[in-house]
């Protein structure tokens, strides 16, 4: 599955430093369409702002999402420094399957920038936007990481 465009949460944007994120535990969680993203400078900043709309634990999904490991690529002229790339987030459905969801939210686990579980960014699973339908048992829900990384930062 290809991801929609990655949107950084502006409220944390001044704090983004690639070395902070590369050395941290970063997760990608599945969130329902009940959540309305607010990526403005006064909007969402913490996982607590989003977590009530996360899909239920079970059937191949674990509360809090999937941990990804990241690395900074080399500097590319014309960008803000380094691209953040990561392992590919994937979940294998079991039982009743992974429920329908609309958003993928990336956040840091723990305290960083003086905040507990700060948000990094999010993307739509479908550019329509529409919900990604239930993933049935034994099937794998895989997110295609953009070739140039999720985002770039200093």
Residue ranges per structural domain of the chain: 7-153
Name beta bridge partners: 118: 46
Average pLDDT value for residue range 38-65: 96
Q: What is the pLDDT of residue 153?
A: 66
Structure tokens at 92: 């294998």
- The predicted-structure confidence for 55-92, as pLDDT tens digits, reads as follows 999 999 999 999 987 654 433 444 566 677 788 889 99
pLDDT band at 154 (very low <50, low <70, confident <90, very high): low
Q: How many residues does the chain have?
A: 154
SS3 11: helix
Q: How far apart are CA 108 and CA 2, in angstroms?
A: 22
Q: How far apart are CA 90 and CA 96, in angstroms?
A: 17
- The predicted-structure confidence for 93-143, as pLDDT tens digits, reads as follows 999 999 999 999 999 999 998 999 999 999 998 878 889 999 999 999 998
Classify strands 111-112 and 7-8 as parallel, antiparallel or unpaired: unpaired
Task: With beta carbons less than 8 A apart as the criterion, state whether 102 and 33 touch.
Answer: yes
Q: What is the pLDDT of residue 13?
A: 78
């Amino acid at each position: 599955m290809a991801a929609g465009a990655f949107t950084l949460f502006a409220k944390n944007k001044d704090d983004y430093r690639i070395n902070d994120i590369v050395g941290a535990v970063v997760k990608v969680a599945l969130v329902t369409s009940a959540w309305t993203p607010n990526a403005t400078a006064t909007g969402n900043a913490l996982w607590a702002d989003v977590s009530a709309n996360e899909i239920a634990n079970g059937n191949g999904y674990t509360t809090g999402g999937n941990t990804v490991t990241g690395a900074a690529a080399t500097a590319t002229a014309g960008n803000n420094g380094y691209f953040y790339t990561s392992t590919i987030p994937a979940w294998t459905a079991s039982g009743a399957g992974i429920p329908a969801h609309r958003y993928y939210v990336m956040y840091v686990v723990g305290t960083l920038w003086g905040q507990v579980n700060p948000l990094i960014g999010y993307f739509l699973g479908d550019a329509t936007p529409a919900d990604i339908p239930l993933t049935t048992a034994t099937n794998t829900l895989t997110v295609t990481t953009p070739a140039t990384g999720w985002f770039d930062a200093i």
